[in-house]
Amino acid sequence: MQPLLVSPHEIRGIVTMAEAVEAVRLGFREWGENPQFNAPRRRIHIPTGVRVSVHQGGVPAAKATGLMTHCEWVKPMAEEQVYPRLNHPVIVLYDSAEGELKGIVIGEITCAELPGNIAVTGLRTAATSAVGTDLLARPDASTIGIFGAAGQAKNHLLAMMQVRKLKNVKVYSRNPENPRKFAEEMGPVTNINITPVSSPQEAVRGADIILTATNSSVPVFDGNWLEPGQHVTTIVGSNVGLVKGGFTAAKRREIDDTTLSRSHVHGIVSIQQAIQDEQADIFDPVNRGVIKWEQLIEIGAILAGNNDGRTKAEQITFYKNNAGQGVADVALGALVLEKAKQKQLGRTLDL
The CATH number that applies at residue 330 is: 3.30.1780.10
Within this chain, do residues 10 and 45 fall inside the same structural domain, yes or no? Answer: yes
Within this chain, do residues 99 and 222 fall inside the same structural domain, yes or no? Answer: no
The least confident of 87-96, 191-200, 230-239, 309-318 is 230-239
Within this chain, do residues 139 and 33 fall inside the same structural domain, yes or no? Answer: no
Under a CB-based contact definition with an 8 Å cutoff, are residues 255 and 214 in contact?
no
pLDDT at 239: 65
Pairing of strands 143-147, 168-172: parallel
End-to-end CA distance of the chain: 10
Pairing of strands 317-320, 265-268: parallel
Sign of CA dihedral 5, 8, 9, 11: positive
Within this chain, do residues 208 and 308 fall inside the same structural domain, yes or no? Answer: yes
Within this chain, do residues 111 and 215 fall inside the same structural domain, yes or no? Answer: no
User: Would 64 be classed as within a structural domain?
Assistant: yes
pLDDT at 78: 59
pLDDT at 82: 75
pLDDT at 317: 98
Q: Could you give the percent of the chain with pLDDT greater than 90?
A: 85
What angle do the packed helices 17-33 and 122-136 form, to 10 degrees? 70
Listed in sequence order, the residues at least 6 apart from 21 whose beta carbon sits closer than 8 Å to its beta carbon are 127, 130, 131, 159, 162, 163
Give the number of domains in the chain. 2
Q: How confident is the model at residue 249 (pLDDT cuts 50, 70, 90)?
A: low
Rounded average pLDDT over 257-276: 97
- Give CA–CA dist 119/155, Å, rounded: 9
- Give CA–CA dist 289/43, Å, rounded: 28
User: Would 58 be classed as within a structural domain?
Assistant: yes
User: Would 135 be classed as within a structural domain?
Assistant: yes
Say what the alpha-carbon torsion angle 325, 326, 330, 331 is, to the nearest 10 degrees. -40
Within this chain, do residues 55 and 87 fall inside the same structural domain, yes or no? Answer: yes
Q: Which amino acid is at 118?
A: I
Within this chain, do residues 288 and 331 fall inside the same structural domain, yes or no? Answer: no
pLDDT at 333: 98
Domain that holds residue 298: 130-320
User: Would 27 be classed as within a structural domain?
Assistant: yes
Within this chain, do residues 217 and 76 fall inside the same structural domain, yes or no? Answer: no
Rounded average pLDDT over 210-236: 94
Q: Which residue has the higher pLDDT, 51 or 251?
A: 51
The CATH number that applies at residue 259 is: 3.40.50.720
pTM: 0.94
User: Would 220 be classed as within a structural domain?
Assistant: yes
Indicate if the pLDDT at residue 247 is higher than 80.
no
Half-sphere CA count of 242, side-chain side, radius 13 A? 24
Rounded average pLDDT over 309-336: 97
Q: How confident is the model at residue 237 (pLDDT cuts 50, 70, 90)?
A: confident
pLDDT at 241: 67
Phi and psi, residue 296, nearest 5°: -80, 135
Within this chain, do residues 139 and 103 fall inside the same structural domain, yes or no? Answer: no
Within this chain, do residues 312 and 334 fall inside the same structural domain, yes or no? Answer: no
User: Would 123 be classed as within a structural domain?
Assistant: no
Q: How confident is the model at residue 85 (pLDDT cuts 50, 70, 90)?
A: confident
- Give CA–CA dist 54/42, Å, rounded: 5
User: Would 124 be classed as within a structural domain?
Assistant: no
Q: How far is CA 215 from CA 83, 120, 148, 218, in A?
A: 10, 11, 8, 9
Beta strands in the chain (DSSP E): 4-6, 42-45, 50-59, 64-76, 81-86, 90-95, 101-106, 143-147, 168-172, 193-196, 209-212, 231-234, 265-268, 296-298, 317-320, 347-348
User: Would 125 be classed as within a structural domain?
Assistant: no
Within this chain, do residues 196 and 213 fall inside the same structural domain, yes or no? Answer: yes
Within this chain, do residues 224 and 263 fall inside the same structural domain, yes or no? Answer: yes
Phi and psi, residue 307, nearest 5°: -145, 155
Reduced to 3 states (helix: H, G, I; strand: E, B; else coil), residue 336 is helix
Rounded average pLDDT over 148-156: 96
pLDDT at 209: 98
- Give CA–CA dist 199/201, Å, rounded: 5
